[in-house]
Amino acid sequence: MAPQKLAAVVVPVTLLALLGAVAGQIRLSVGYYKYRCPKAETIVREAVKSAIDSNRGTGAGLIRLFFHDCFVQGCDASVLLNTTGSSEPTERASAPNLSLRGFEVIDAAKAALEAACPGVVSCADIVAFAGRDATFFLSGNNAVDFDMPAGRYDGRVSLDSEALANLPPPFASLEKLKEMFAAKGLDTEDMVTLSGAHTVGRSRCSSFSDRLPPHVSDMNATLSGTLASQCNGGDTTVPQDSVTPDGLDSQYYRNVLNHEVLFASDAALLASNQTADMVSANAFTPGLWETKFKAAMVKMGRVGIKSSADGEIRDKCWMVKVN
């Protein structure tokens, strides 16, 4: 398991991270907490495992939480804030984030970490570790196992309006998706790869109602009919992947090819030969998507990270630190 690999990290890696921060170049590193909080990653993994053992859907929520955090203000735990002391609502109150899950897992991990190593582990790193660990536990035979570099600081800014502006909507076109991912330093392949997270989790019917009768879409007629019956004018939730709803795997890409996906943004992956070829490769090359997903999660985890100069280590993940 990934946390057990920390012993292999040598001291110079941590020193490079510290030197980089001093020089104004923020560097993340594997094993960042090896000396200051040796059990940090184990504590987070235990909290995630306990939550997923109770409800596998929480794991999908934690992966989504990581994504939503990194796309707004960078990977700085701004999505967790209930208040920043400002009168303006935070990201957490924004429409795209109202269905987020897993906050209680982050809070449980933070409480355990504060008891073990007060003031050391950032909420931003907890979110990143939890996204990694949820991926591990939801993948078949725990196959998607990887190290997540750490060293993030927690941000102090969280704005409702920024969530709406930065999070790709479920109706986004291919060009809009490419544009929004590129704005975060993520390329087209990263976008196609990270879209595969839709292989787990559930969605509200309102997020794809424009693709159900009487509207016209390219959705498979059988699936469309089933969903129309399940939704029945309400706003219930349904699995995003009706074939393997509880497992993180490459089935999503076969669903895309078969027009058995919920969102217009999923169907949009077939809108160009370039992305359609990526979808096919992920669908039919064993292990390819899993390998790319590990790299894409680490790459996304570097988006907009904060340092001690513009961030902090919160005492509680839902509020900025009071000095």
Q: Which helix (H) or strand (E) is 238 found in, with range?
A: strand 237-239
**Tally: H helices and E strands in the chain:** 13, 2
| Closest residue by Cα to residue 34 from 144, 128, 117 | 117
**Would you call 259 a catalytic residue per the annotation?**
no
Q: At what angle do helices 123-138 and 40-54 cross, to 10 degrees?
A: 50
Instruction: Give yes or no for a contact between 283 and 253, defined as CB atoms under 8 angstroms apart.
Output: yes
Distance, CA of 249 to CA of 142 (rounded, Å): 11
Residues 120 and 33 sit within 8 Å (Cβ to Cβ)? yes
Comparing C-alpha atoms, which of 243, 176, 236 is closest to residue 208?
236
Give the number of other CB atoms < 10 A from CB of residue 86.
13
Kindly state the tokens that stand for 264. 């217009």
Tokens of 166: 């930065």
Q: Could you tell me which of 54, 48, 64 has the C-alpha nearest to residue 107? A: 48
Q: For helices 56-70 and 40-54, what crossing angle results, to 10°?
A: 130
Active-site residue identified among 68, 198, 215, 259? 68
Listed residue (168, 213, 226, 175) closest to 194, CA to CA: 168
Whole-number Cα distances in Å, 281 to 33, 60, 66, 292: 37, 24, 26, 11
C-alpha count within 13 angstroms, C-beta hemisphere, residue 234? 7
31, with CB counted inside 10 A (0-12, 13-18, 19+), is buried
Burial of 8 (C-beta count, 10 Å sphere; 0-12/13-18/19+): exposed
* Catalytic positions: 68
